[in-house]
Structure 1
Amino acid sequence: MENKKSLQIDAERCVGCRKCENTCIMEAITIIDEVGYIDISLCNNCGMCISVCHKHAIR
């Protein structure tokens, strides 16, 4: 059985800049009211969003 960890966005650190949303090739990230949300059913855990987040809000 695969133990898949899902990425999460820390709402207190996220400023809604949309860098992660624009980088996600899976279209798994949505910004709502200046906070990012990850749809884990779409996310493939590639980590591209982590690399572009200047607020270190994605783990």
Structure 2
Amino acid sequence: MRRGDAVRLQSGGVRMTIFNFVRDLPDTAKKKYITTGADEEDVVCKWFVGTTLKKDVFKPEMLMEA
């Protein structure tokens, strides 16, 4: 997996795009994710629900290529 890849959750769901990995984020953004329980290897994904942009962090093993 790399930045820009299209992925889905292993359990199904919407198509998402890998925005970044927590390890590659600027320190201020990385700290936000680390303090909420994310690991540096976790994946930040973005997707749309209608016209609303959503973003969340997932464990790599939760994702598959879309």
| TM-score (norm. length: structure 1) | 0.26
| TM-score (norm. length: structure 2) | 0.25
Higher-strand-fraction structure:
2
> For the pair shown, which has the larger CA radius of gyration, 1 or 2?
2
